Amino acid sequence: MTKPFIAELVKRMSLREKAAQMTQLTPLFFGLEEDMDLTGPLGEKQLKPDDMKHVGSVLGVYDASKFIRLQRKHLEENPYGIPLMNLCDVTHGLRTVFPIPLAMGCSFDMEAVKQSAAVAARESAYMGIHVTYAPMGDLVRDPRWGRVMESPGEDTYLNARFVESMVAGFQGDDPRSPEKVGACFKHFAGYGAAEGGRDYNTVDLSRGVLREYHLPAYLAAVRAGALMAMTSFNTVERIPATVNKWLLRDVLRKEWQFAGAVVSDFNSIDEVICHGVAADGKEAAYKSVTAGLDIEMMSTHYLNELEQLVAAGEVNEALIDQSVIRVLELKDRLGLFENPYKDCDPAKSEEVNLSPEHRRIARDVARKSIVLLKNEDVLPLAKRGKIGLAGPFAESRKVLGGWWALGKAEECVSLKEGLIQAAPGVEIVTAMTGELERIRNGGDVKDEVADAVDTLRDCETVIVAVGEHMEDTGEACSKTELRLSPNQRKLIEALSEAGKKLIMIVFSGRPLVLEEAEARSAALVQAWFLGNESGNALADVLFGDYNPSGRLSMSFPRSIGQIPVYYNRLNTGRPQKSESDKDFVSSYLDSSNSPLFPFGYGLSYSRFEYSGLSLSEDALTASVQVENVSSVGGTETVQWYIRDIAASVSRPVKELKHFEKVSLQAGEKRTLHLKITKEMLSFYADSSSDPVFEPGEFQIMAGRHSEDISGITVRIEEI
């Protein structure tokens, strides 16, 4: 039921005013700058100065005082007293920057993920931000795509848990409460499947695959109560998501009962013309509004075309009213009609931004996101003696990753700073640590490399901090080369040839191709981009003050040619039986099928052993024993996978269905259980909306990671 005051407002508004309410523009348009006239941006978008007082939302005011000025001006001018809504991209922290989402996915710690979102919400709320354009639920299998850094990874189940935890952290029980913001999940739908990993590229998925793998994370956001949804740039079944009626009306609204507002992505209504499914702005507006797209971000076809479309009888005004109602209801759910400034408070904003408490939480989340990939007994390091430190990330503070909101490099802790702080007694010898910019280039580094080897001659162990430039990750940062740059490879080669024990730390926003680096390292640590507390979190892990517990949220390919490589694949009719089996089976002549590091993989300073996988009498509870067989206490992520052996459609060789983090003291043993549910055994048999359960044999698997599990087969007729 629409609240009477909202219905009343809609009744009083003209069509053009309604179209403006459905429009979102950047601050540039709102006259806070001096030179607002019709020869500037307003003119380009064919806006009339009068339109601005009716525009419903602003994209990206990251300043509390500025927002107060803007809202005050807006309320003075808007005849209905409808407040402006401020939406920003706060994806992994605002001023306190957390690890990139792909890294946070590796924590497998949903409490930590939720906490990071709660900190981001607090900082955002005091800054006058009402909704964040997060979480991103796009499932990713192609590390060439720069936006994998924004995703929780390649697994449907993990992504869904991640997304719902983020929504809970941002919104709390009620987004209008203090220190909370609304969440807008994105990019609906399937954006992560861009062909060739090239951003904005075509997506072509069967409905079964879309439903099975890609949609569940968005559905989880809806179920968690996210207030908004954003469409994606790509096509789905050759129709851009922004105007895709099946996605927006049938799936999102009808099946999932999503009642919140849907926003386009940046300019994506206009891009429908480029996609070739609308001849002009009028047709683009027609298709978007009839598909149920409520808010147009950064193009103005609604403003310029909706009036005529209604006048010509092509669009029913009732449809427009529905969208305006959704926009006003959103403002109401955020409490903006009662308090248009919500928590906005410049002094409070200053106080909470990057507060010691927020930094403490960021450090904790960061160390949980680090993944130890290899360790030939060189880690943890002793806090004494001499250690070498080389590579472009050794002293760099450019460790925020893409979408760093208001994070500042100068407020980040570099690796070297973290090491010194943690172990002041260690002598650190640095070499070739400069010129981060040169990561991108080859260049002749022969002399520098020779000097580095010479400088480090007395260091038996050398930490080499390498990776990709943080600005090579995120939107529009697709790549076709994922190995370390040639100059970094030369440094690694020379140090390794000089007989050094190399502890390689990799900073990246995506899985890189690390086969060569791995072969030359004694220890390999995936650091991703960890945000402000990067150096401290890494030092915690390197010196063993924190026992690493991260597990990969995305497989690491051996080569570009293997992509996509992901664990929950189908079996094919000719699966490979062993590495050497290459005869007319599904394999590569020149490579293994397996990734370098699989999904779920990650080491600890402890060692865990699994035993006694068994089933209860009714076969609906599986149990497994996990024992810490080492002398150090640590945390294991117990992973449960299921395979449906024969069904009406081919089913993945395994799918993660549950995970649990357990902390075990040295020698401690615990029994863990999986309660098998119908949902875990069900799947999308065809393109219809409901998952089905088909009786038969299932394999229930438990273990350390997707390639190290043991299984037990069970017949389940009924559940």
Residues marked active site are found at 265
Among 62, 108, 126, 133, binds ligand BGC (CB under 6 A): 133
What is the pattern of x (binds ligand BGC, CB under 6 A) and - over residues 245-284?
A: --------------------xx------------------
Among 186, 359, 367, 651, binds ligand BGC (CB under 6 A): 186
398 part of the interface to ligand BGC, by CB under 6 A:
no
199 part of the interface to ligand BGC, by CB under 6 A:
no
Provide φ and ψ at 489, rounded to 5°: -65, -35
Nearer to ligand BGC, 51 or 271 (CB): 271
126 part of the interface to ligand BGC, by CB under 6 A:
no
- The contacts of residue 114 (CB under 8 Å, 6+ apart) are 165, 166, 168, 169
Residues 30-59 interacting with ligand BGC (rule: CB under 6 A): 59
d(CA 544, CA 542): 6
Least distance CB 199 / ligand BGC (angstroms): 9
d(CA 232, CA 567): 25
Of 411, 423, 358, the closest CA to residue 386 belongs to: 423
Cβ contact 208:367 at 8 Å: no
Least distance CB 256 / ligand BGC (angstroms): 21
DSSP 212: I
Residue 409 buriedness (CB in 10 A; 0-12 / 13-18 / 19+): middle
Nearer to ligand BGC, 199 or 343 (CB): 199
Residue 447 buriedness (CB in 10 A; 0-12 / 13-18 / 19+): exposed
| Single-letter code of the amino acid located at 215 | L
Nearer to ligand BGC, 475 or 707 (CB): 475
Least distance CB 136 / ligand BGC (angstroms): 7
Residue 584 buriedness (CB in 10 A; 0-12 / 13-18 / 19+): exposed
Sign of CA dihedral 98, 120, 478, 655: positive
475 part of the interface to ligand BGC, by CB under 6 A:
yes
d(CA 519, CA 164): 38
342 part of the interface to ligand BGC, by CB under 6 A:
no
List the beta bridge partners of residue 675. 621
Cβ contact 191:203 at 8 Å: yes
154 part of the interface to ligand BGC, by CB under 6 A:
no
d(CA 52, CA 39): 15
Nearer to ligand BGC, 295 or 439 (CB): 295
DSSP character string of 243-272: G-HIIIIIIIIIIT---SEEE--TTTTTHH
Least distance CB 268 / ligand BGC (angstroms): 8
Least distance CB 133 / ligand BGC (angstroms): 4
Tokens of 229: 């949804």
Least distance CB 131 / ligand BGC (angstroms): 10
Q: What share of the chain is helix, strand, coil (3-state, %, to 5)?
A: 35, 20, 45
364 part of the interface to ligand BGC, by CB under 6 A:
no
Tokens of 472: 């090579």
Nearer to ligand BGC, 295 or 542 (CB): 295
Nearer to ligand BGC, 51 or 89 (CB): 89
Least distance CB 200 / ligand BGC (angstroms): 9
Tokens of 126: 């005091």
- The contacts of residue 370 (CB under 8 Å, 6+ apart) are 103, 106, 525, 526, 527, 528, 530, 537, 538, 541, 548, 550
Sign of CA dihedral 136, 140, 146, 152: positive
3-class SS of residue 208: helix
What is the pattern of x (binds ligand BGC, CB under 6 A) and - over residues 87-116?
A: --x---------------------------
Least distance CB 266 / ligand BGC (angstroms): 4
How many residues can be counted in the chain?
719
Least distance CB 409 / ligand BGC (angstroms): 21
Nearer to ligand BGC, 170 or 698 (CB): 170
Cβ contact 580:129 at 8 Å: no
Residues that bind ligand BGC (rule: CB under 6 A) add up to a total of: 7
Give me the helices (H) in 256-413, please.
271-275, 281-291, 301-311, 317-333, 346-352, 356-369
CB-based closest residue to ligand BGC? 133
Least distance CB 280 / ligand BGC (angstroms): 23
Nearer to ligand BGC, 24 or 553 (CB): 24
Tokens of 439: 């990561």
d(CA 300, CA 281): 9
Residue 81 buriedness (CB in 10 A; 0-12 / 13-18 / 19+): exposed
**Strand 621-628 and strand 608-615: pairing?**
antiparallel
Least distance CB 717 / ligand BGC (angstroms): 45
Of 143, 157, 172, 167, the closest CA to residue 217 belongs to: 157
Nearer to ligand BGC, 187 or 211 (CB): 187
Nearer to ligand BGC, 66 or 186 (CB): 186
Nearer to ligand BGC, 265 or 294 (CB): 265
What residues line the site for ligand BGC (CB under 6 A)? 59, 89, 133, 186, 265-266, 475
